[in-house]
Amino acid sequence: MSSRRTPVVVVTGFDAVAVDSVARSAQTPGTVVVHHDLVELSLGIITRTVRSLDADGVVGARVTRIDLDHGCVSCALREDLLPLLRALHRREGVARIVLQLDPLIEPEPLCWAIDEVVVADVPGAIDGPAGRDVRIEAVVGCVDAGTWLTDATGDTTLSEVGLVPDYTDERTVAQLAVGHVGHADALVVHGVAEDGWQAALLMAVLARLAPIAPVLLALPERPITEAVVGTLLAAVPDTARRGAMTGAHDPLLPGQPPLDADCGVRLVEFHSDRPLHPGRLHEAIDCLLEGVVCSRGRLWLATQPDEALWIESAGGGLRVATGGPWLAAMSDDEVDACDPERVSMAALRWHPEFGDRDTSIVVLSLRADASFIQDTLRGACLTDAEMAAGPAGWAMFDDPFGSFHRDPCVDGEVVADDADAGASSTHPDLQ
């Protein structure tokens, strides 16, 4: 790994004006701004713009149209951006890279790809991930004060609003809107909400979704400038994620978000040391889709005793994927290789028969009733009689989840080998 990795600032969000303003304001001498425009992705074409600023303040731009074998966000990034990052690291005079993301590119799986996806055949470099040469300095999420809440709580797919041309990409607008903020180390709130109440709701949600992220309110009287963006980036705390992935067994309330209610917005926690009945869980899961901004957590499903399942929702869409094995299902050598903090935390609640298995879910509620969510999920847990039947009896339950699951579903349809569901797992795809 390079002894001097080039810092990368990722700028993301649906607010194109704010994203562009932040990227340009972050472009000091020695900074290169990279933008991939995916508007022609369906035609197998992406347009890459690389802007540079020399020591005399002269801006240069190079625009390249790139043909892909097929129109896919994942391929666009793997085939072009990752090798470009490694090459820019080796270019003389490049001190920092700013990635001005197209809104279709989710920041969390992108950051994962930078650190994990092997890039081969880069001149002057041994094969390896771009993370050998670059490091994420900060992820800046740009929020439109007038539209973000609506985007984050709906169930509209990207294809339904024309952001992608067909139904091969089944992601929702809410999934992207929540991802733009949830993975951010700093936030820029641009524009004006409909009224004071909507403004208060928005800030209450952001404080719980990205609790340690400094927030810049970009108003007409306070435009986005180089000095303001510099101050914002300097305010990113040392404890920020800076591109780090969230694992299924990581703490579900990182950053110590407020646990009290504000404008009716609150975090709802659900915990159970009993497994979940797959059929009743499937019926109960809609409680996470109404009046909820997002939810995430790990599930102990009675029919799948070895693997924790990872559940996450955004607005009216939900997906379930594998979250990796429980410690209790691992060999001693596998446990020794795990994060010591995970092992220590599991030891505090270790059950003599079931080990570290449990269900823990955190829900960011906008207007849903907390007691209803908790009671509904509790009703999906096994009863005393079902617990007495033991694992042999639990294995007889019908399981509508299979390996992966997404709501809304059709007649309990199981989504198998799903790229989007995989983005929730420990090995996400860029899509």
pLDDT confidence of residue 384: 97
CATH number for the domain spanning 343: value is 3.30.1220.10
pLDDT confidence of residue 57: 67
The pTM of the full predicted model, rounded to 2 decimals, is: 0.90
Do 312 and 355 belong to one domain?
yes
Which pLDDT tens digit goes with each residue over 7-36? 999 999 999 999 999 999 999 899 999 999
255 assigned to some structural domain: no
| Domain membership of residue 358 as a residue range | 266-422
Do 140 and 182 belong to one domain?
yes
pLDDT confidence of residue 40: 84
pLDDT confidence of residue 2: 54
> Is there a contact between 359 and 349 (Cβ–Cβ < 8 Å)?
no
Rounded distance between C-alpha atoms, residue 379 and residue 363, angstroms: 17
Do 225 and 331 belong to one domain?
no
Which pLDDT tens digit goes with each residue over 40-64? 877 778 899 999 987 666 678 999 9
Q: Is 321 helix (H, G, I), strand (E, B) or coil?
A: strand
Q: Which of 189, 218, 234 is the last residue of a domain?
A: 234
Do 210 and 307 belong to one domain?
no
> Is there a contact between 72 and 105 (Cβ–Cβ < 8 Å)?
no
60 assigned to some structural domain: yes
Angle (deg, nearest 10), helices 226-234 and 16-25: 90
Do 228 and 300 belong to one domain?
no
250 assigned to some structural domain: no
171: nearest Cα among 314, 275, 269: 314
Rounded distance between C-alpha atoms, residue 85 and residue 78, angstroms: 11
Q: Which of 217, 234, 251 is the last residue of a domain?
A: 234
Residue 81 DSSP label? I
Q: What is the tally of structural domains in the chain?
A: 2
The CA–CA distances, whole Å, from 288 to 151, 315, 414 equal: 17, 9, 18
What lies within 8 Å, CB to CB, of 344 at 6+ separation is none
Do 195 and 275 belong to one domain?
no
CATH number for the domain spanning 208: value is 3.40.50.300
Per-residue tokens: 168: 């091969």
At residue 360, what is the residue type? Answer: S
153: nearest Cα among 135, 175, 133, 131: 175
What stretch of H or E contains 21?
helix 16-25
Provide mean pLDDT across the span 64-84.
80
245 assigned to some structural domain: no
Which pLDDT tens digit goes with each residue over 282-306? 999 999 999 999 999 999 999 999 9
Position 430 confidence tier, pLDDT thresholds 50, 70, 90: very low
258 assigned to some structural domain: no
240 assigned to some structural domain: no
Do 229 and 103 belong to one domain?
yes
H helical segments located in 57-216 = 73-76, 82-89, 107-116, 148-152, 173-182, 196-209
Residue 300 DSSP label? -
Do 222 and 286 belong to one domain?
no
Do 73 and 158 belong to one domain?
yes
Provide mean pLDDT across the span 314-329.
94
**Residues in a beta bridge with 6:** 134
78 assigned to some structural domain: yes
Residue carrying the six token digits 């709802």: 268
Do 81 and 161 belong to one domain?
yes
Do 230 and 270 belong to one domain?
no
Q: In what order do the strands lie in the sheet with 405-407?
A: 266-272, 359-365, 292-299, 307-314, 317-325, 405-407
223 assigned to some structural domain: yes
Rounded distance between C-alpha atoms, residue 192 and residue 423, angstroms: 32
On the question of pLDDT at 431 being above 80, the answer is no
Do 222 and 304 belong to one domain?
no
Which pLDDT tens digit goes with each residue over 125-176? 899 999 999 999 999 999 999 999 999 999 999 888 888 776 677 889 999 9
